[in-house]
């Protein structure tokens, strides 16, 4: 009888442990919850549209912090309490995963670099290379080539065209690709290397642009951070990122 009671007690302990673990994994998402998302600057407008749609459907608020992928990565490895990273590259999410700081990365969008100008006369040249050779072009903005993937893509295109060294005295470094567009849209520079998403906004429609086909395709990867305390809610948002509603928003802003 004594051994029987011990066996029953052990079974109850195992069962309670299993039920507790199951409850944690399947914890319901509560309306009014918030998740913190680190968002690459090129994806600001698309993210804001998605966050608004997501909140309307789930009552979960997705709050974004916007900066260059490199800066966001630096914040994360230094302890920033984000739940999810939407990077503008594959490299940084992969490294976070390798270092045990994030779940397996996944691709959420593919972007395209463009050269944009507020002056429509700028685009009268046959190619973007010819447009930049115009002597009237004095300043060209480009996102930081070390921390911003769109800046790195623009640099790769300029190097391929043999123009990187030639244009050094005209290049104005912006901290993010969004800032590069800001410089161009306010005519602080004559033209700027930007993300395709820029042309979807009202300001973007006022200017003209060239698609930089020589720039590598920008594959944007995301990852859930291990430190998240809102796993159920963040997984709900990740599920939304792959929805048809999110896909429509991506297409609206020029993403594939």
Burial class (CB in 10 A: 0-12, 13-18, 19+), 219: middle
Q: Are 40 and 220 in contact (CB under 8 A)?
A: yes
- pLDDT tens-digit series, residues 163-202: 999 999 999 999 999 999 999 999 999 999 999 999 999 9
d(CA 156, CA 161) in angstroms, rounded, equals 9
In the predicted model, is pLDDT for residue 5 greater than 80? Answer: no
Structure letter (DSSP) for residue 203: H
Q: Where in the chain is the domain with CATH 3.40.190.10?
A: 34-111+218-252, 113-211
Backbone φ/ψ region at 117: left (φ over 0), alpha (ψ -120 to 50), beta: beta
- pLDDT tens-digit series, residues 10-45: 344 434 444 344 344 445 566 679 999 999 999 999
CATH superfamily name and code, 34-111+218-252? Periplasmic binding protein-like II (3.40.190.10)
Which pLDDT does position 165 carry in this prediction?
A: 97
113-211 CATH: 3.40.190.10
- pLDDT tens-digit series, residues 228-237: 999 999 999 9
What percent of the chain has pLDDT above 70?
88
Mean pLDDT of the chain: 91
The mean per-residue pLDDT over the stretch 207-236 comes to: 97
Structure tokens at 31: 């309306």
- pLDDT tens-digit series, residues 46-72: 999 999 999 999 999 999 999 999 999
């Amino acid at each position: 009888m004594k051994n029987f009671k011990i066996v029953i007690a052990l079974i109850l302990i195992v069962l309670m442990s299993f039920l507790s673990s199951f409850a944690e994994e399947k914890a319901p998402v509560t309306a009014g919850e918030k998740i913190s998302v680190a968002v690459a600057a090129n994806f600001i407008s698309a993210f804001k549209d998605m966050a608004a749609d997501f909140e309307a459907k789930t009552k979960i608020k997705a709050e974004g912090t916007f900066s260059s992928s490199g800066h966001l990565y630096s914040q994360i490895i230094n302890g920033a309490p984000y739940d999810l990273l939407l990077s503008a590259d594959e490299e940084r999410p992969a490294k976070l995963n390798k270092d045990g700081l994030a779940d397996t990365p996944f691709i959420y969008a593919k972007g395209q670099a463009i050269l944009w100008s507020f002056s429509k006369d700028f685009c009268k040249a046959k190619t973007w290379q010819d447009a930049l050779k115009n002597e009237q072009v004095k300043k060209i903005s480009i996102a930081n080539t070390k921390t911003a993937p769109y800046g790195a893509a623009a640099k790769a295109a300029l190097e391929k065209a043999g123009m990187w060294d030639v244009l050094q005295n005209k290049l104005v470094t912006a901290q993010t690709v969004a800032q590069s567009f800001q410089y161009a849209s306010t005519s602080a520079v004559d033209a700027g290397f930007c993300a395709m998403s820029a042309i979807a906004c009202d300001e973007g429609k006022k200017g003209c642009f060239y698609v930089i086909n020589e720039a590598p395709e920008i594959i944007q990867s995301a990852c859930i951070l291990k430190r998240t305390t809102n796993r159920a809610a963040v997984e709900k948002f990740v599920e939304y990122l792959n929805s048809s509603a999110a896909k429509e928003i991506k297409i609206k802003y020029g993403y594939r």
